[in-house]
Amino acid sequence: MELARLTIHELQNGLKKREITIADIVRDVFKNIQKKEPQVNAYISVFEEEAIERAVELENNMGSEISVLYGIPIGVKDNIVTRGHETTCASKILLGYIPPYNATVVEKLISNGAIITGKTNMDEFAMGSSGEYSYFGPTRNPINTEYVPGGSSSGSAAAVAAGEAIAALGSDTGGSVRLPAAFCGVVGFKPTYGTISRYGLIAFASSLDQIGFLTKDVTDAAILYSLLGGFDPHDSTSFEIELPHWSEMVKEQKVKLKIGVPKEFMNEKVNPEIFKKVEDFISEAERYGHEIKEISLPHSEYAIETYYLIAMSEASSNLARYDGVRYGYRVESDDLEEMYVKTRTEGFGPEVKRRIMMGTFALSSGYYDAYYLTATKVRRLIKGDFIDAFKEIDVIIGPTSPEPPFKLGEKLSDPIFLYMTDVLTVTSNLAGLPSISIPLGFNSKGLPIGLQVIGNAFEDVKLLNAAYNFERIINS
């Protein structure tokens, strides 16, 4: 039995019955890492020795009642800080930075007995949609290594898909959990903004960033959310919420759902094979008794421009702290200004520099009102569209991406194309809504397709329950 291919709940069942050991699981995961990493490049750093030691410790202390995460190997995206382990955001400018503390989600993983496998690769500072913008080289899609895995949580999605982790943490600013999930054929869940702590997540765009999960199924996403979510006094954007046991989030649907299908998500801009897969699912959902309703989110037409203006502006502000003075990479110089310029020029990659410059321009005197301020007003309109829609429906569905995975290097010279791959995911971030991508099969080239399900704010449990039942329809 290949244990690395099993889900969290399947492995936990085996552990409780004493059919397998924690060492068996860890050994199988690291066997895959050793075998597949030369091709996939899902990790920046691997904690094999530490993981084996922790497996022995957990096995020796294992009681009759254990957390569902006990002994489960989980990858952590390299923009989520880990005490004593280098955290780089896949950027040269943070080489050598070893955080003195753990992110809240990492502390919760450890307290629940999880085993951290290592820090997963990503687009530099989470800025990218393909997984090709890492200082440590691109991640490859384990389904077909000629293709991109999606970004920016490229390593986390690839690690789960390749059996190099049972599950993984990612971050989602405009689709960075859901897009790679769709491209790699796994589940990617982004909770409501504020329901899971961002303390210890290195900021890209603070009003959009959200920690999320890459898993093999919806049940595993519910497990991670129930144990890692909730209020955190260290995070000023955190909300007081009560989360039920994960089993309450994934139950057979008794009440049929009203499902909204935005006409702006299903149009001629969507790849025909993806369009057909979503259409077929809609027909199946109707056959199961769910009510389908066409809706409109009229201001989503402006979502990409709005998202990138806000995200780049916030990135310009957040990344100003990387100057070579306090930590990370530094170019030595007798002249302070020259040191700043050379450090940032050499330390940041081309995509990060492009976004910093665009954000700085949008915030500059004479342009602030025309760009950034206008974008924040449109953001409110986009959120208003969702508020109106959820008065009549339970969840919204559509494709996760308008395009299937593309070949490595094929679109690197076309940043507009890469930005547009986020066109169906950014609205959830702008409105702060929970959203999940679940596998919807494959196209004619054998590449994965994702179905995106969006829920109303703070109705994450309802969304997970819907996604669990949609998963059952797809797999039936």
Query: Is there a contact between 465 and 218 (Cβ–Cβ < 8 Å)?
Result: no
Instruction: Compute the average pLDDT of residues 277-296.
Output: 97
Instruction: Compute the average pLDDT of residues 338-342.
Output: 96
Give the per-residue pLDDT at 63.
86
Residue 64 pLDDT greater than 90, yes or no: no
Instruction: Compute the average pLDDT of residues 51-73.
Output: 95
Instruction: Compute the average pLDDT of residues 426-439.
Output: 98
Give the per-residue pLDDT at 240.
94
442 band by pLDDT with thresholds 50, 70 and 90: very high
Q: Residue 141 carries which DSSP code?
A: -
User: How far apart are the C-alpha atoms of 10 and 19, rounded to whole Å?
Assistant: 11
Give the per-residue pLDDT at 27.
97
Instruction: Compute the average pLDDT of residues 371-378.
Output: 96
Decide if 77 is catalytic: yes
Q: Residue 153 carries which DSSP code?
A: S
Give the per-residue pLDDT at 228.
98
Give the per-residue pLDDT at 446.
98
Evaluated on CA atoms 402, 169, 393, 296, the torsion sign reads: negative
252 band by pLDDT with thresholds 50, 70 and 90: confident
Options 91, 129, 130, 176, the catalytic residue? 176
pLDDT above 90 covers a percentage of the chain that reads 97
In whole numbers, what is the pLDDT of the chain averaged over residues?
A: 97
Give the per-residue pLDDT at 134.
98
Q: Any idea what the Cα angle at residue 475 is, between residues 469 and 476, rounded to 5°?
A: 90
Query: Phi-psi bin for 54: left (phi > 0), alpha (psi -120 to 50), beta?
Result: alpha
Q: Which two tokens stand for residue 349?
A: 């990659």
Decide if 176 is catalytic: yes
Residue 29 pLDDT greater than 90, yes or no: yes
- H or E, element range at 314: helix 303-318
User: How far apart are the C-alpha atoms of 292 and 142, rounded to whole Å?
Assistant: 35
Could you tell me which residue, 315 or 255, shows the higher pLDDT?
315
Instruction: Compute the average pLDDT of residues 428-453.
Output: 98
Instruction: Compute the average pLDDT of residues 127-156.
Output: 98
Residue 1 pLDDT greater than 80, yes or no: no
Give the per-residue pLDDT at 280.
98
Give the per-residue pLDDT at 241.
92
Give the count of alpha carbons within 13 A of 460, CB side only.
Answer: 29
pLDDT above 70 covers a percentage of the chain that reads 100
Options 129, 130, 134, 152, the catalytic residue? 152
Task: Give per-residue pLDDT as tens, 388-398.
Answer: 999 999 999 99
User: How far apart are the C-alpha atoms of 463 and 456, rounded to whole Å?
Assistant: 8
Give the per-residue pLDDT at 181.
98
Give the per-residue pLDDT at 230.
97
Decide if 313 is catalytic: no
Q: Residue 102 carries which DSSP code?
A: -
Those residues with Cβ within 8 angstroms of residue 389's Cβ, 6 or more apart along the chain or in another chain: 260, 262, 295, 297, 396
Could you tell me which residue, 242 or 260, shows the higher pLDDT?
260
